[in-house]
Amino acid sequence: MKFRDGYWNIHKSVRHLPKVAIVDVQKGEGKLSMFAASKKIEHRGSTLNTAVITTEITAVLPDVLHIRSYHFKGLPKRGPFFELAEDQAKLLAIETNKDSFAACSKDLSAHVATTGPGDVQFTYKGKVLTSSVGLLGGHAIVHDKEPYQVEYLNLGVGETIYGLGERFTAFVKNGQVVDIWNEDGGTSSEQAYKNIPFYLSSKGYGVLVASAGKVSFEVCSEVVTAVQFSVPGQCLDYYLIGGDDLKAVLHNYALLTGKPALVPPWSFGLWLSTSFVTNYDEKTVNSFIDGMQDHEIPLHVFHFDCFWMREFQWVDFLWDQRQFPDPKAMLKRLHERGLKVCVWINPYVAQKSYLFDEGMEKGYLVKNPDGSVWQWDRWQAGMGLVDFTNPEAVRWYQGKLALLLDMGVDTFKTDFGERIPTEVEYFDHSNPMLMHNYYTYLYNQAVFTLLEEKRGKHEALVFARSATVGGQKFPVHWGGDCSATYESMSESIRGGLSLSMCGFGYWSHDIGGFEKLATPDLFKRWVAFGLLSSHSRLHGNESYRVPWDFDEEACRVLKAFVELKCTLMPYLFAQACRTHESGLPMMRAMVLEFPSDPVCAYLDRQYLLGESLLVAPIFQDDGKAVYYLPKGRWTHLLSNKEVEGGSYQEEVYDYFSLPLFARPNTLLPIGNNTQQPDYPYNDKVTFHLFALDDAKEAEAAVYAHDGTVQAVCKIKRDGTVYEVAVEGELKNWAVCLRNIDNVASVSSGSLSHSAAGALITFAAQEKECRIMTA
C-alpha cells in the first residue's frame, strides 16, 4: 500500500505522523524504548497537540530482535497471533554511549540516537544491515478514518529480497507490490495460496512482520531504496533476524516460528492420484495400479481426490457407495499391495452433508454476526465453514477423520483453506480479518496433530495447499493449480523456491500440470523435475496422469526417475532429517548455498536438492538445458562427466537425463533399492566421493527411519591417500571414488573397478580403510 506521492510528497488522502524528533530514550529491563514526536520540538509549546510514536526493542533469541512501533497502545489485543518464541529480557544487553544507545542480542544490535529523527540502525558484528527511516515511517491515517502503522527499512546498492511466501512472480522481489492475503489464484498470477510476511535479504538478515492479517509490502516499489510494509491499526510488530549467512538466518527464523516435522520415508516415493473431475471407481483405481505394475513402475502412495465422497456432500467423510461399495476391504487390498492411501478433504461442509446439521446444532460452524451460520454456494452448495477456534469443533472434526484412519486411510490431502470470509464471528471472538490468513494454520494443525496421535511421531504428514507463518510445522505443501505448459512449470519452481526461503522444508507440485493435458514431451520433462523434488505426485484436473496415456517412452522415463529417487533415499532422508533439525529446506535456491556468487542471486530455474545435488530441469521441447555451475569441479551424477564450474553451460539431454550434478567435495550415500523409498539405509549403502580437494574432508550420515543417526562415514584426502573411517552400524557397505581408477592399494575391503570409478566393498565389521592412489 502506497502512502507517498512520489518521494517528496504524501498522498492527499493520507495524514502522516512520522518520527521526526526523538524526545526521549528509556532503558528498561530487557527493553529499550524510543519516543519520537511527529514534528520538531522548538519550544515547550511544541509538545502540545503533537503525536508521539513509540518504538520498543526487545530480544527473543540470540541474534533476533523484536521491534514494536505504535501510535496508540490502548486498543484491546484481539488475536489470533502467530505462535512465536517469547521475548527474553535476559538476552538483551543495552549499551549506553554519550549520544546513543545500542540494544544487542548476541551479535545483532539496534542503534538509537538520543536526538534527531527516530531512526534505528541495525548491525550484525558491526556490519550495517539496514536502517529504519524515521522520517518515512510512523503512523498514517487514510481518509481521516483508516489508521496504519508503517515502516521503511532501507536497502543498499545491489541488495536483493526473497521470500514472502509461495509467490509465482519473479523470484527476486525487488520492484514488486505484495499483499499478504491468501487467495485461490492458481500459479499464474500475483496471488498466492501461502502468504508469509517474511523476507530474506542478500545482505544477510531476515524480517518477519508479526501480523496474521493483511500486510502490505512495497519492495522498492514506492521508495526505491527501501522495503516499506504496513498493517492496519495502531501497532506494528516485526522481528529482525541476523546470522552469519542466509542459512543461519533461516535457522534462527525456524527457532522463532517452528521447524518442519520429520516426515516418514514412504512419503518420498511416487504418489498417483485419481485426478479431480475424472470418472473413477475401484475398478479404475485397480487398473491404474495394475498398469503401473505391468510397466514395472514402482508406486508407493495412491490418492483419492474429491469424488471419493458423493457430489454435493463435501465433506461428509463417507465413501460414495456407488463407486466404492466396500471401502474397508478395498483399503486392505491396497495395503496388501504395499501402498499407502491418501484421501482428499477440506474444511468446508456442504449443506447436503449430514455433518452440516450436526455442526449447526452444536455450534461448530463459523457464524454471521447475527448468530446464523455463514453460508455460500461457491464450491459446495450452501456450504459452511468449520470453526477451528472452538476446541469442541476441532475434536468433532478430528473424530470424523479418525474413523477413516481406523478404516485404513494413511494420510490426508488438506486442500483449500484460502477462501475464508471476513464478515463473520468466531467462537473465541478472533478478529475475522486476521483469521482470513490464520485459518489454514488451525485447520492443518488439527489434522496433523490427529495423525501424530494415531500414527505416531515422524509418521504424520498432510498434503496441504494453503499456509501461513508456522505452517511449515505441518508438512507437506504442494504448489496448487498449475497448467500443463513449460511456462507454468517454471512458475511452479519460482513459487517453491520462494516458499523455501520462508523456512518451508518440503514442497511438491502436480507433475505434468493440473490444468489441461501435457504433451508427451512436457510430461516427461516434468517427471524428471517432479522426482527430483522432495515429494512427487502425479495429479490432474480433467484427465488422468498415468504415463501410458502419454506414450510408452513416458512409462520408461517415469520408471527410471522413480528408481533413481529410491536409490537416493539414504541421501534424501538424511537431508530431511537435517531439515527437521535445522529448519533449512530440502529444495534450496542457489543464492542460499552460494550467496557470494553474484550470478546465483537471480537464478530461479535450477536449485539444490539438499546441500549436495544441483538440479536444472529442462524447459524446452528441443531438450536444450541452459544452467549455471558455480566455481569448482562438478560431477554429473548419471554420466559421471566432470565439469569445471564458474560459467553457464548449454547442452541437449534426452528424456532419461537432465543437469544433475554432485557438488565438489561431496560424499553422497546411495542405496541399492530401486523399488522402495523406505528400506534400511545402512544396509548395502555405497558412499560416492566426488572431486575431493587435497587436505579436505567429506562426511555423510545415514539415518534410521525415526531420525536417529545410524552411521557416519568420513573420508579425508592427503595427496594421493584417502583415509576412510566409519562410526556406527553399517551392513555390507562400499565406497566409490568417482572418476578415480588408479588405486594402488587398499588396507581393507575388496577393490574392484566400475564405470563410475574405483569401488571398495566392506563387511559390516570393517570400519577403516587407507586407500592409496597412484
Q: Please identify every residue annotated as catalytic.
A: 415, 418, 481
Cα distances (angstroms) measured from residue 410 to each of 94, 281, 343, 699, 712: 52, 19, 8, 35, 32
> Could you tell me which residues come within 8 angstroms of residue 323 by beta carbon, excluding any fewer than 6 positions away?
280, 281, 282, 307, 308
In sequence order, what are the beta bridge partners of 687? 669, 735
Identify the three-state secondary structure at position 645: coil
> What does the DSSP assignment read for 662-701?
EPTTEEEEE-S-SS-SSS-TTBS-EEEEE-PPTT-EEEEE
The sign of the dihedral angle between the CA atoms of 330, 331, 336, 338 is positive
Alpha carbon 658 to its chain centroid, in Å, reads: 24
Q: What is the dihedral of CA 462, 464, 470, 474, to 10 degrees?
A: 0
| Residue 470 dihedral angles phi and psi, to the nearest 5° | 90, -15
Closest by alpha carbon to 659, among 671, 667, 648? Answer: 648
Identify the three-state secondary structure at position 89: helix
> Which contiguous run of DSSP H or E holds residue 575?
helix 569-582
Question: Rg for the chain (alpha carbons), in Å?
Answer: 28
| Residue 4 dihedral angles phi and psi, to the nearest 5° | -105, 150
Largest CA distance in the chain: 91
Q: How far is it, in rounded angstroms, from Cα 509 to Cα 540?
A: 11
**Residue-wise burial string across 456-479, b where 16 or more C-beta atoms lie within 10 A, e elsewhere:** eebbbbbbbbbbbbbbbbbbbbbb
